[in-house]
Structure 1
């Protein structure tokens, strides 16, 4: 499938800031199921800095904007060719050992309830791929998709207690559950063309990847949509949790408040 993406993030500052520095994970991954055809990231008034490919295989690019500045726009536009690999991430070059992703973080740390859910889900399961599917299904059942009830800092344990959340909460809960039973897991940020007819809509998305030793690869699980990523998905980058995998991270030199407005649209132009 050929997918086009338009992603605009507008930052506004209450008072002009002296400058802004940002680190972007906004370049699509390259692997057997995904190849970028054309891709451009622009920052209004920005200066392109250094870039590098990190140990997880993600491209990280820095930008700086000299001040004084009251408003910054980060605009992403491009085309990506995707193929359904049933969630398997093959052909992706990275150098970090999967065991690194057993490390717990504040958003993904399992409490007693999440640990119990994970243990019950994999009881009697000897196949790691089957265990991963069971964990994803258990999280899907335990947390209903409902926007507006959680926020950016909601933890996996809190979302499970609420029984509701969004894709970030599903990903964090699945990661926490997988790590609780000894399966390396990580957070993935990207895009999803959710509309069957290919019409434009907001499409920022997140899911989890679990390392399956028998397959010797990462396998994606989207507990929010009860499926594995297919050719409707575009993978940007990964990390231990949402903050670690954030497409845009940065800091502004100033004392005023910051607000942002995000618009993301993805469209299929060819089957």
Structure 2
């Protein structure tokens, strides 16, 4: 499948800013199941390209002249293929055990430990166990746009009983980490079809120990299904904070207004 993608992030401020710095994960990862046919990143100020510790193609954007608006646009075409049974080949040099460490957003509480125990064995899990967990989360936390924020923790989303894709991903990670199973956050895009969900998406990779296979399996917790060719992967990390498409700080600016427009056209 070919996905034509346009992603615009626009900030507007009530007062001029003196300085902005943004970490951008807006370039698709180099992976066997996706091939970038064309890609362009447009942003003001200075862009410094680098590859981060997780192999994400990243940029650091800095703007040191006064400004009151800021627009970042990523556009391109990515050719994707569906990984067999959701299995994502790993070219990582890092141990998967680095993705067993809880973060502020994925810390396990008694409620999370109870949910994890209902689906997962200790130490390792088969794909069917991981899918069972995704289905339980899908039932426990109803998709509701605007119900949570990027700072919402997994335990808060579980208590609330509603959230969005990043909350589903964080809750899945928290459950896996509670049982010592490697799992990592994935940010990217999805052809939403007729689901009504946002085209900017988040899901997970979890370490599966199946017969004849031990490695990453990519799972869309929000839809309780394996990753297909409808997905484009931007970045991986321990949680949203490490893999967010756009994340930064500013000096000045007063009140901030943010608008995000993502368009995905499949061919």
| Structure 1 length-normalised TM | 0.90
After superposition, the Cα gap between the structure-2 partners of 1:124 and 1:154, relative to the gap in structure 1 and judged at 3 Å, is closer
Alpha-carbon offset, residue 148 of structure 1: 2.5
- Aligned partner of 2:135 in structure 1 is 137
3-state secondary structure, aligned to 2:92: coil
- The answer (yes or no) to whether the contact 2:29–2:234 under 8 Å persists in 1 is yes
SS across alignment from 2:240: coil
Q: How many residues align?
A: 264
Runs of 4+ in 1 over 6 A off after TM superposition: none
Structure 1 unaligned residues grouped into runs of 5+: none
Q: Matches of 2:36 and 2:214 in 1, distance apart?
A: 24
Partner of 1:69: 67
For residue 118 of structure 2, give the secondary structure of its aligned residue in structure 1.
helix
Name the CA distance, whole Å, in 2 between partners of 1:6 and 1:165.
Answer: 25
The residue matched to 2:170 in structure 1 has which SS?
helix
Contact conserved, 1:201 with 1:265, CA < 8 A, in 2?
no
Match of 1:146 in 2: 144
SS in structure 2 opposite 1:31? coil
CA RMSD of aligned residues (A): 2.1
Aligned partner of residue 99 in structure 1, secondary structure: helix
Q: In structure 1, what is the equivalent of residue 9 of structure 2?
A: 9
CA drift at 1:201: 8.6
- TM-score, normalised via structure 2 length: 0.92
1:143 & 1:201 partners in 2: Cα distance?
15
Partner of 1:53: 51
CA 1:201–1:265 in 2, change beyond 3 Å: closer, same or farther? farther
DSSP-derived class of the 1:39 partner? strand
- Match of 2:32, SS state, is coil
**What secondary structure does 1:95 align onto?**
coil
CA distance in 1, matches of 2:135, 2:194: 23
1:201-216, aligned counterparts within 5 Å? Answer: 202-214=198-210, 215-216=213-214
Task: Please tell me whether the aligned partners of residues 55 and 94 of structure 1 are also in contact (alpha carbons under 8 angstroms).
Answer: no
